[in-house]
Structure 1
Amino acid sequence: MRCITLASPSSGRNAATGQQVWSANLGYPGDFDYREFHKKAGTSGFKYWRVTGANLDLALKDYYHPDWAAYKVEQHAEHFAHLVADQLREHYTETGSPGVVVSSYDTELFGHWWFEGVLWIEKVLRHLAADPNIELKTASEYIEAEPPTSVLHIPESSWGAGAITSHGTTPTHGGCGEPIHEAELRMEGLVIRYPDPAPDEFTVLNQVAREALLMQSSDWPFLVTTGQARDYAVQRFNQHLERFTKLADSLDRKQPDVALAEQYF
Structure 2
Amino acid sequence: MKRLSVVLHTHMPYVEGFGTWPFGEEWLWEAIATSYLPLLEVLDRHPGKVTLSVTPVLADQLEAPGALDRCLAFLREIRPASHALDLPDHPQLEYSAAQYEQAADALERRGDLIEAFRPHVAWTSAATHAVLPLLATDAGVRLQLETGIASHRRRFGAWHGGFWLPECAHAPWLDDLLEEAGVHVTCVDWSNVGIGEPHRTEAGVTLVPLDRPGVDLVWDHTGYPSHGDYRDTNRLTPHAHQAWAVDGEPYDPERGHARARAHAEVFVSEVTEGAVLAFDTELFGHHWHEGVTFLERVLELADVVPVEARDAAPAPEAVRPTSWGTGRDLRTWSAPGAEGIAWAQRSAELRALGADAGPRALRELLALQSSDWAFQIANGSAGDYPRQRAQGHREAFEMALRGDGTDALRHLAPDLAEWAFVQP
TM-score normalised by length of structure 2: 0.45
- Tell me the equivalent position of 2:368: 215
Read off the aligned partner of 2:406 and give its amino acid letter: L
The structure with more helix, counted as a fraction of residues = 1
Look up the match of 1:23.
Answer: 220
Aligned to 2:314: 150
Partner in structure 2 of residue 226 of structure 1: 379
Q: Distance in 1 between matches of 2:270 and 2:388?
A: 43
Aligned partners of 2:229 and 2:343: how far apart in 1? 42
Q: CA RMSD in A?
A: 2.8
Rate the CA distance shift 1:7–1:167 in 2: closer, same or farther, 3 A.
farther
For 1:125 and 1:72, the matched residues in 2 are separated by 16
Equivalent position SS for 1:126:
helix
Are 2:264 and 1:77 aligned? yes
Pairwise CA distance, 1:183? 4.3
**Superposition pairs of residues 1-265 of structure 1, within 5 angstroms:** 1-4=197-200, 8-25=205-222, 27-43=223-239, 45-52=240-247, 61-84=248-271, 87-88=272-273, 100-129=274-303, 136-139=304-307, 142-143=308-309, 146-152=310-316, 153-184=318-349, 189=353, 204-205=358-359, 207-247=360-400, 249-250=401-402, 260-261=406-407, 263-265=408-410
Identical residues among aligned pairs (%): 29
Tell me which moved more, 27-36 or 227-236. 227-236
> Residue type matched to 1:22 in 2?
W
> Rg larger in 1 or in 2?
1
Deviation at 1:186, TM superposition (A): 5.9
The one-letter code matched in structure 1 to 2:228 is F
- Secondary structure in 1 aligned to 2:276? coil
CA 1:47/1:76 → structure 2, altered by over 3 Å: closer, same or farther? same
| Cα distance in 2 for residues equivalent to 1:72 and 1:217 | 36
Residue by residue over 1:97-149, the C-alpha shift from the partner in whole angstroms, topping out at 9 and shown as x without a partner, is: xxx311111222121211111221111111114xxxxxx3222xx21xx1344
Aligned to 1:198: none
| Segment of structure 1 superposing worse, 230-239 or 158-167 | 158-167
1: CA distance between counterparts of 2:347 and 2:282?
27
Q: C-alpha distance in 2, partners of 1:105/1:184?
A: 30
Letter in 1 for 2:392: Q
Shift of 1:171: 2.9
Separation of aligned partners in 2, 1:233 and 1:34: 30
CA distance in 1, matches of 2:251, 2:333: 35
Mark the CA change 1:209 to 1:77 in structure 2 (over 3 Å): closer, same or farther.
farther
Change in Cα spacing, 1:208 to 1:151, as seen in structure 2 (3 Å) is farther
Distance 1:42 1:219 in 2: 27
State the alpha-carbon separation in 2 of the partners of residues 182 and 151 from structure 1.
Answer: 32
Query: Per the alignment, do residues 7 and 80 of structure 1 end up closer, same or farther by CA in structure 2, a change over 3 Å counting?
Result: same
Q: Secondary structure at the match of 2:210?
A: coil
Q: Any idea what SS the aligned residue of 2:255 has?
A: helix
- 2:323, 2:329 within 8 Å by CA — same for their partners in 1? yes
Is the Cα–Cα contact under 8 Å of residues 39 and 49 in structure 1 kept in the other structure? yes
